[in-house]
Amino acid sequence: MTALGIGLIGTGFMGKTHALAFRSVRAVMGDVPEVRLECLCDTPADKAARFAAQFGFVRATADWREIVADPAIDIVSITTPNNLHAEMAIAALQAGKHVWCEKPMALTLADAERMEAAARAAGRITLVGYNYLHNPAILHAKRLVGAGRIGRVVHVRGWVDEDYQADPDLPWTWRARLADAGLGALGDLGCHLVSLVLALAGPIESLIADTQIVHADRPLADGSGRAAVENEDTATAILRFANGAQGSISASRSAWGRKNRLDVEVHGTKGMIAFAQERMNELQLYVNEGPKAEQGFRTILTGPEHAPYGRFVPAPGHQLGFLDLKTIEAAELLRAIAGGRVAHPGFAHALGIERVIHAIAQSGAEGGRRVTLG
């Protein structure tokens, strides 16, 4: 296979992570296709050019449609603001590109559905940036659950919190407007938590929920007054899973002190697994076995026993970081392309995540009415 050409749209935080992942993935993994950093897109053009030089792309453009049209490009990475995802992804798919799109898929469920339909129609590989799913600790948790190590899953809990909207004096931004940002904490954070919960406990059947705007309005940056916050600062749901388990999840973007909290705990009939992203190289495991006097939660430090950790570092306890998760994600994409298989989580799976967060928003809007998922 000749090297796969990469077109990357966006040079912000996520754009950088995609660029770095593509730069590292083959050196780390060995057994993935080669890539060629073909074209980087941002506006204005000089910004695109500057970042192309920094990231090591061959070319730069200010017009994303050039990337979509470019025959030298096989994969389009979309890391733009969420309201642009749908148009770009659909165009790329229709042009026959594979698409790696950041989460959430879109502002509205309808857009996400259109994206999924386009992926199905195009038969191309898609991947949505739920990077935490690729953490070796989470992959190991999935294996443990799958192997019945904690018995039947009966209950799940999770929290995802940051504090970037905790300060009441923070100026109003587009993030607070429904039309621009769509969902609030659910779209930014909640969807990550849902991705973990689905991975560890399977599909959700129904839920009840509540949402909350913590700061009703915020000062305008220009001092001209205040503007309303239109989307949720927190969201909480109580879940019923298809397998009979129950659980609850909660998201907040106004939780002081939490920087990237993403905690999940899985209660089984034989044991418990707990994970906290702020200590992403640790997995907590309790199993009801051996002498009672020696039972306790084990802090498992990830290492070569937890694939693909060993591709990065052959010694346990040395720690992977956030960027390494994106490298694993890129490998998933490249291997799926090379192997002609579905990448996980692709648009079809990610649409399921979108359905959950929109169901939470809907239940919240309707006072906690039970919402059933397809």
Binding window for its own copies (CB under 8 A); candidates: 104-112, 115-123, 292-300, 341-349 = 292-300
Site for its own copies in 56-95 (CB under 8 A): 56
* One character per residue 190-229, x = contact with its own copies (rule: CB under 8 A): ------------------xxx-x-xx--------------
**Contact with its own copies (CB under 8 A): which of 91, 101, 145, 166?**
166
In the complex with its own copies, which residue's Cβ is closer, 26 or 98? 26
Quickly tell me which residue has 């980087």 as its tokens. 40
Q: How far is the CB of 333 from its own copies (least distance, A)?
A: 18
DSSP secondary-structure letter at 71?
T
Burial pattern 255-280, b for ≥16 Cβ within 10 A else e, equals beebeebbbbbbbbeebbbbbbbeeb
Question: Three-class SS of residue 129?
Answer: coil
Site for its own copies in 313-332 (CB under 8 A): 313-324
Contact 346, 93 (CB under 8 A): no
End-to-end CA distance of the chain: 40
> Cα(327)–Cα(343) distance, rounded to whole angstroms?
14
In the complex with its own copies, which residue's Cβ is closer, 122 or 144? 144
Q: How far is the CB of 272 from its own copies (least distance, A)?
A: 4
Site for its own copies in 143-162 (CB under 8 A): 144, 149-151, 154-155, 157, 159, 162
- Residue 52 buriedness (CB in 10 A; 0-12 / 13-18 / 19+): buried
Picking from 274, 270, 288, the residue whose alpha carbon sits closest to that of residue 147 is 270
> Cα(194)–Cα(206) distance, rounded to whole angstroms?
13
Give how many residues touch its own copies by CB under 8 A: 98
* One character per residue 24-53, x = contact with its own copies (rule: CB under 8 A): x-xxx-x-----------------------
Q: How far is the CB of 25 from its own copies (least distance, A)?
A: 10
- How far from the centroid of its chain's Cα atoms is residue 129's Cα? 4
Q: How far is the CB of 327 from its own copies (least distance, A)?
A: 9
Q: How far is the CB of 270 from its own copies (least distance, A)?
A: 7
In the complex with its own copies, which residue's Cβ is closer, 174 or 322? 322
Contact 303, 315 (CB under 8 A): yes
In the complex with its own copies, which residue's Cβ is closer, 309 or 347? 309
**Contact with its own copies (CB under 8 A): which of 70, 158, 250, 361?**
250
Task: Give the number of C-alpha atoms closer than 13 A to the C-alpha of residue 207, restricted to the C-beta side.
Answer: 27
Picking from 290, 294, 241, 250, the residue whose alpha carbon sits closest to that of residue 268 is 241
Contact 199, 324 (CB under 8 A): no
Q: How far is the CB of 337 from its own copies (least distance, A)?
A: 18
Site for its own copies in 339-368 (CB under 8 A): 367-368
Q: How far is the CB of 46 from its own copies (least distance, A)?
A: 15
Q: Does 272 bind its own copies (CB under 8 A)?
A: yes
In the complex with its own copies, which residue's Cβ is closer, 65 or 157? 157
Binding window for its own copies (CB under 8 A); candidates: 78-86, 97-105, 171-179, 276-284 = 276-284
The residues, ordered by sequence, that sit 6+ positions from 189 with a Cβ below 8 Å of its Cβ are 160, 161, 162, 251, 252, 253, 262
In the complex with its own copies, which residue's Cβ is closer, 351 or 357? 357
